[in-house]
Amino acid sequence: MTSTASLVHHALEHFFIETPSWGYTDTGTRFGKFHQPAAAINMGDKLADAGQVHRLTGCCPKVATHVLWDFPDLSKASEVAALAAQHGVRIGSINPNVFQDQEYKLGSVANPDEKIRARATKHICDCIDLGKELHSRAVSLWFADGTNYPGQDSIRARKHRFEYALREAHDRLDNDQVLLVEYKPFEPAFYQTDLADWGMAYMMSKIAGPRAKVLVDTGHHYLSQNIEQIVAWLLDENMLGGFHFNDRRYADDDLTLGSIDPYQIFRIFHEIHFYAWERGGVYPQIEYMIDQSHNLKPKIEAMIQTVTTAQELYAKAALVDHEAMVKHQAAGRIIDAELCLKKAFNTDVTAAIAAWRTSHELPVDPLEAHRASGYEAKVAAERSQRRIDLVMSTGSSYA
């Protein structure tokens, strides 16, 4: 029987997670935000913080970017890539922004105005071209499109507008690029959201073309929805392209992974390991990404906490005895089949993960190593002074 240590080692060797540039900055709710002295101010700060997380965890070599926030001047994209390399990371998924500008009040690619739809589609295509320049595989699409009131717009017409735009975007892809189509049941649209669930995202991906896949954000579901079933179905259809990992208690709370329901994340990872086991150990190509907004927790500490939790749960899910579980399933031994999962989930993998980290010359406890490094205090002092200088030079307030 293969040992726990070797199973954990094998699992972690191939498990990489993108951290989001926006997770290192001051963010908040629609009601306001609470400032943190160490929060990143500009793209250089974001990449430096992402580099710190990767140095300590060894599994976060890429940084997901939001184009309007991170690339205000697309002509300088190569400079951003060079800056990322200086910090030991590289640019990961490209996230177009078709939700914040005033023109998108009634939607982006589903907007009733043809000119606004064309503008949104062009931005997405420009982002695809940016991905080509930066050798970024994934272009991740999330849309705020929808309506707030019955009768506001034609639901079917909006669907047709989406189909047209996603086909155009897909045609712009290189052969090694993938279009990830995300979904969300509500917010900011409260009557109907144009891409409200995995079935809609699946349909749009199939319509767009063969290099379009579904992106599952673990917070973008109604309460009690069985996310691992969605994952299993998408795996079986070869349509699971990526994840945005976070946790939630009520809706899209963007909490640190595993802070509310670690067993759910374990079950999701199990479906992926089970799928690969049935295929002789061949894993699907999935983009694992974090999408969290740390309004209260320190930014880097929260990111490290999420990454190490993801490693722990992914490693535990790799311990499930699938051979035994399948035999129990076939014989109808329900309790025994379930216990295969519970046994793996309850296994302490601390020593095995520590051994993996030691073998890669990483700190055994990344969070404690970060705290001991003095990085947080150093950047907090430097960035606080920069904010003061900015206020003094411009007369603006820090908000």
Q: What is the pLDDT of residues 318-338, one digit of tens each?
A: 999 999 999 999 999 999 999
* % pLDDT > 90, the chain: 91
φ/ψ of 178, rounded to 5, equals -135, 140
Distance CA 53, CA 107 (A): 36
pLDDT tens-digit map of 63-101? 999 999 999 888 889 999 999 999 999 999 999 999 999
Asked if residue 161 has pLDDT above 60, the reply is yes
pLDDT tens-digit map of 43-69? 999 999 999 999 999 999 999 999 999
Asked if residue 399 has pLDDT above 60, the reply is no
Distance CA 287, CA 273 (A): 15
pTM (two decimals) = 0.96
Asked if residue 142 has pLDDT above 70, the reply is yes
User: SS3 sequence, the chain?
Assistant: CCCHHHHHHHHHHCCCCEEEHHHHECCEECCEECCCCCCECCHHHHHHHHHHHHHHHCCCCEEEEEHHHHCCCHHHHHHHHHHHHHCCCEEEEEECCCCCCHHHHHCCCCCCCHHHHHHHHHHHHHHHHHHHHHCCCEEEECCCCEECCCCCCCHHHHHHHHHHHHHHHHHCCCCCCEEEEECCCCCCCCCEECCCCHHHHHHHHHHHCCCEEEEEECCCCCCCCCHHHHHHHHHHCCCEEEEEECECCCCCCCECCCCCCHHHHHHHHHHHHHHHHHCCCCCCCCEEEECCCCCCCCHHHHHHHHHHHHHHHHHHHCCCCHHHHHHHHHHCCHHHHHHHHHHHHCCCCHHHHHHHHHHCCCCCCHHHHHHHHCHHHHHHHHHHHHHHHHHHHHCCCCC
* % pLDDT > 70, the chain: 98
Distance CA 278, CA 283 (A): 10
User: Predicted confidence band at 1 (pLDDT cuts at 50, 70, 90)?
Assistant: low
Bridge partner list, 139: 94, 179
Between 251 and 11, whose confidence is greater? 11
Confidence (pLDDT) at 28: 75
Asked if residue 394 has pLDDT above 80, the reply is no
Asked if residue 398 has pLDDT above 60, the reply is no
Q: Which of 193, 118, 202 is nearest to 161 (CA)?
A: 118
* Residue 259 CB partners (closer than 8 Å, separation 6+): 247
Domain positions in the chain are 12-299
Class of the CATH-defined domain 12-299: alpha beta
